Amino acid sequence: MVDFFMPILDRQNRAIDYLRVSVTDRCNLACTYCKPRTQMRELPHNEILRYEEIGRIVLRAVALGITRVRITGGEPLVRRGVTDFIASLRDVPGIEDVSITTNGVLLEEMADALRAAGVSRLNISLDSLRRSRFREITGSDAWDAVWRGIRRAEDLGFRPIKINVVPVKGLNDDEIADFARLTLDRALHVRFIEFMPIGSNDRWHRDECITTDRIRAVIESALGPLEPYTSERWAGPSDNYRVRRGQGIIGFISPLTKHFCAACRRLRLTPEGKIRPCLLSDTEIDIKSPMRGGCRDEEIDRLLRLALELKPERHYIGDGETQGCRRTMSSIGG
């Protein structure tokens, strides 16, 4: 029996109600800014949390006030049994929403199962609308599969479908307006995310970052003024707008130029069982070892509360010599 409480507050009085769960570090793409294509050690299978272990952590997190769960990777759709696991989460009393972030490669073939499992919202990472460039960025010739997956998701009624784009200078910044145009006659949410220093810093350089102000200027030059849009329930850190008479939404996520840490409501669970209070900090709490050592639920609760105590007021990237986190996004959870 789980006793439900009001959402728990961290030291900054933020109500933490959102848990991002990475079910695998494996991915069928190797995006240049996310995962190195060489010298990347995948976790042995026995180090990755089993579904029943994840479920136990989620159940305790719900007892502390978590109401929203997002399934991530790596690429979550490469893990066998993921749709059955998602369906089991939908049956947990207290969970209001289960969503997923995917690169879309397997989406066409799995969209029906995801819908049947209770997923209604999708985030799809896509950094180019050009096949050859997609191959250059990801190391895979899978652009057509991704686009078919997006079309299938539209047909099945997933809402919203969010396309996450990371503009990088000299790589794909000439496609900013093209991505924004997707919202003119389609009910897509296109979200532009500032390039963050995650993983080995030799792949991140500040002069490659395209700021939100610059992205917005490019869009407005091509499509006209953007109108604020604020009625979305699950907006998160995104500042949302619409092109006049557009069907979709354009969002901006600005971790470098606009700290949204004061409104952060999330914790992360890595695939090998570490609770991570902040994406851009290397602080982690091992929850797998106590579980596999036979700990009681009260110890899981204590560790989750400890994560809240350690959740920083904000990240410090861009302050002086502070760098980003050492782990890659694929190993943390997208």
Q: Alpha-carbon distance 70 to 100, whole Å? A: 5
pLDDT digits (tens, 9 = 90+) for 302-312: 999 999 998 87
Helix, strand, coil fractions of the chain, as percent rounded to 5: 35, 20, 50
Q: Which of 208, 210, 209 is nearest to 218 (CA)?
A: 210
pLDDT digits (tens, 9 = 90+) for 67-121: 999 999 999 999 999 999 999 999 999 999 999 999 999 999 999 999 999 999 9
Least confidently predicted of 235-244, 262-271, 322-331: 322-331
Q: In terms of pLDDT, which residue wins out, 232 or 257?
A: 257
Contact 26, 272 (CB under 8 A): no
Give pLDDT, residue 321.
46
Angle between helical axes of 107-116 and 143-156 (0-180°, round to 10): 30
Q: Could you tell me the pLDDT band of residue 177, with boundaries at 50, 70 and 90?
A: very high
pLDDT digits (tens, 9 = 90+) for 183-224: 999 999 999 999 876 554 545 566 678 999 999 999 999 999
How much is the pTM?
0.90
pLDDT digits (tens, 9 = 90+) for 134-161: 999 999 999 999 999 999 999 999 999 9
Q: Alpha-carbon distance 286 to 270, whole Å? A: 10
pLDDT beyond 90 at 172: yes
Q: Which of 61, 19, 4 is nearest to 264 (CA)?
A: 19
Q: Which of 20, 86, 17 is nearest to 51 (CA)?
A: 86
Percent of the chain past pLDDT 70, that is, above it, reads: 82
Cα-Cα-Cα-Cα torsion 311, 312, 314, 317, nearest 10 degrees, comes to: -110
Percent of the chain past pLDDT 90, that is, above it, reads: 70
Q: Alpha-carbon distance 181 to 179, whole Å? A: 5
Contact 215, 176 (CB under 8 A): yes
Q: In terms of pLDDT, which residue wins out, 176 or 322?
A: 176
Q: What average pLDDT does range 286-300 have in this prediction? A: 98
Contact 264, 12 (CB under 8 A): no
Q: Alpha-carbon distance 62 to 98, whole Å? A: 12
Q: Which of 191, 222, 197, 221 is nearest to 209 (CA)?
A: 197
Please report which helix (H) or strand (E) contains residue 65, including its range. Answer: none
CATH topology of domain 8-332: TIM Barrel (3.20.20)
Give pLDDT, residue 195.
85
